[in-house]
Amino acid sequence: MAAGSAFAARLTTATGAGPLRPGSLRSRPGDRARRWRYLPYDQLHAALGPLATLSPHELGVVLIESPAKARRRPYHRQKLALVLANQRHFALELAARGVEVRYLVDADGYAPAIAAAARVLGPLAMMEAAERELRVELAPLVADGALQVEPHAGWLTTADEFVAWAGPRPPWRMDAFYRGARRASGLLMEGARPAGGKFSHDADNRRPWRGTPSPPPPPRFVPDELTREVGALVERAFASHPGQLDLEALPATVADAEALWAWALRACLPHFGPYEDAMSSRSRTLFHTLVSSVVNLHRVLPARVVADVAGAELPLSSQEGFIRQVLGWREFVRHVHVATDGFRTVSLREGAPLPPAFWGAPSGLACLDGVVADVWRTGYGHHITRLMVLSNLANLFDASPRELSDWFWIAYADAYDWVVEPNVLGMGTFAAGDLMTTKPYVAGAAYVHKMSDYCGTCAFDPRRTCPLTRLYWAFLDRHARALAGNQRMAVPLAALRKRAPAERARDAETFAAVRATLDAGATLRP
């Protein structure tokens, strides 16, 4: 991922040294007097951890671009541009403060570049990387003393707090963890009691959207020369990667991130709560804030967004719904991911290959085709389309949970292993059983029809011909033994037992026909 001329020129002007291959790195006067740190791609904020306390003139920072990482999977082009543009802008932002920056480009990965930097600059310190994949790559350097690791200051809770609130071993439950986090943080608390008398307002936040109030159009940004250069690089070097690149939808600078968050507070959050579970073909985003991508890069700090929401004049259901996602779910899944070593210490249900429909082949199901098209167009989809369309249908198709998890990692601009593996393996597919959720989130046509307008443009009638309902019953039939002890599945399993044998046979036939059609890349028809 060679650094382009505009970035190279601006970095050279700011620091006296443009982007370097690690082998070209040389010690300069004063280098050894600085405190050198490596900053991973998820830590791009000048007020995060030691960067907030060290004087810029005593601080040295190493940033790394790795084409090997970008090519490890066919990541969405919007995601590649997002990470790369933000890291390059952050390098210049640091340099403007007087921080000495060494920006390395290494085709072989992060570890070789850090090893080379440590030989020239001395051992480097870093806050722990969020992604397990990067932690594993850097572990030998930590063992050799070339890299010293400190806790990541961006997280809002600790491992000890996770154990105290959720328990030392599974099953873990987010609601118990969230109550502990709310009490410890004081957010939306009135003394020892939660504001409004209950910790979760989830039951109040399940309204379908029927056209009003009008959702705000997402903000657009003006790409500067550096961002346009990144876009050209991605289009050239990663032309085989899927997804559309839209630079005007990409928050690349700290000012862009601030503008996005200001828009979210002003335009989205007043109506976010009641409609956070709604889905619509008329509005991909509805009242969702779109800040997950910049929060996961720490361009806007998680502590900042929950404090801003708690202090804003907003309906309590919107405040609580947003804070539950960031302080509750986001923190919870990260702890589960660490505790299970990325779900490698637990048994997972297997499945068949993901159908070509997830890569853009028309399935004939308006819900699936619409959501997939949105994702490849934008690199975004809100949490209910991820859970109740993509994960739900993958479950009904008996698709591989691991393959679906990797697809999420590739397709979404805000996706990293610590996010997608718990979300998909733990919740979306229930592949790890009741490790962190109480039941599989499967549903037939009635749910999609109630919570969205997708059915209005579909060739299938949700009440008569949509295959999702028979696929739902077929899923329960195939997995009845595994779900037999789950109390939250007792009612649907009892209904399954009362279902006529002829209907159950038709359910199984529908599943086989749908799988065969989609596996062939063909389109389902009524």
Find, among 401, 398, 407, the residue nearest to 427 by Cα. Answer: 401
Given a cut of 80, whether residue 4 has pLDDT beyond it is no
Q: Give residue-wise pLDDT tens across range 11-24.
A: 999 988 889 889 88
Q: What is the pLDDT of residue 31?
A: 81
Residue type, 444: G
Tokens, residue 244: 């559309």
Given a cut of 80, whether residue 347 has pLDDT beyond it is yes
Cα gap 417→405, rounded to integer Å: 9
Q: What is the pLDDT of residue 16?
A: 86
**H or E element, residue 37:** strand 35-38
β-sheet with 35-38: strand ranges across: 100-105, 59-65, 35-38, 124-127, 147-150
Residue type, 499: R
Q: Per-residue b/e over 31-60, b at no fewer than 16 CB within 10 Å?
A: beebebbbbbbbbbbeebbebeeeebeebb
Decide: 375 and 367 in contact? Cβ < 8 Å.
no
Cα gap 316→321, rounded to integer Å: 8
Residue type, 470: R
* Residues in contact with 254: Cβ distance below 8 Å, sequence separation at least 6, in sequence order: 89, 90, 93, 299
Given a cut of 90, whether residue 9 has pLDDT beyond it is yes
Given a cut of 50, whether residue 451 has pLDDT beyond it is yes
> How would you classify the pairing of strands 35-38 and 59-65?
parallel
What are the residues facing 103 on neighbouring strands? Answer: 63
* Residues in contact with 449: Cβ distance below 8 Å, sequence separation at least 6, in sequence order: 455, 462, 463
The CA-based angle 465-468-471, given to 5 degrees, is 115
Given a cut of 80, whether residue 217 has pLDDT beyond it is yes
Q: Is 245 helix (H, G, I), strand (E, B) or coil?
A: coil
First to last CA, the chain: 47
Residue type, 2: A
Cα gap 94→101, rounded to integer Å: 7
Cα gap 397→467, rounded to integer Å: 11
Q: Give residue-wise pLDDT tens across range 67-114.
A: 999 999 999 999 999 999 999 999 999 999 999 999 999 999 999 999
Could you list the beta-strand ranges (E) of 67-140. 100-105, 124-127
Find, among 420, 197, 192, 188, the residue nearest to 322 by Cα. Answer: 188
Mean pLDDT, rounded, for 39-56:
95
CA distances from 289 to 30, 202, 333, 380, 427 (A): 44, 17, 20, 11, 22
> How would you classify the pairing of strands 193-194 and 100-105?
unpaired
Tokens, residue 474: 């077929």
Alpha helices in 124-170 (DSSP H): 132-144, 159-166
With both helix axes pointing from N to C terminus, report the angle between 225-237 and 77-96 in degrees, rounded to the nearest 10.
140
Q: What is the pLDDT of residue 18?
A: 87
Residue type, 111: A
Q: Give residue-wise pLDDT tens across range 305-318.
A: 999 999 999 999 99
162 falls in which pLDDT band (50, 70, 90)?
A: very high
Given a cut of 50, whether residue 3 has pLDDT beyond it is no
Cα gap 330→375, rounded to integer Å: 21
Decide: 442 and 432 in contact? Cβ < 8 Å.
no
Cα gap 351→391, rounded to integer Å: 13
DSSP one-letter string for 419-451: HHIIIIIIIIS-TTGGGSSSS-----HHHHHHH
């620091």: which residue's tokens?
A: 15
Tokens, residue 164: 């105290």
Q: Is 244 helix (H, G, I), strand (E, B) or coil?
A: coil
Cis peptide before 171 (omega within 30 of 0): yes
Decide: 62 and 38 in contact? Cβ < 8 Å.
yes
CA 175 to chain centre: 20
Q: Give residue-wise pLDDT tens across range 471-494.
A: 999 999 999 999 999 999 999 999
Given a cut of 80, whether residue 1 has pLDDT beyond it is no
Q: Give residue-wise pLDDT tens across range 375-415.
A: 999 999 999 999 999 999 999 999 999 999 999 999 999 99
Cα gap 433→426, rounded to integer Å: 7
Question: If you compute the radius of gyration of the chain from its CA atoms, what whole number of angstroms results?
Answer: 24
Cα gap 506→19, rounded to integer Å: 62
> How would you classify the pairing of strands 189-190 and 193-194?
antiparallel
Q: Give residue-wise pLDDT tens across range 218-272.
A: 999 999 999 999 999 999 999 999 999 999 999 999 999 999 999 999 999 999 9
DSSP one-letter string for 339-355: HTTTTTSS-----BPPP
> What average pLDDT is seen over the chain?
96
For residue 120, count CB atoms less than 10 angstroms from its CB and return exposed for 0-12, middle for 13-18, buried for 19 or more: middle
The CA-based angle 444-176-312, given to 5 degrees, is 85
Beta carbons within 10 angstroms of residue 190's beta carbon: 10
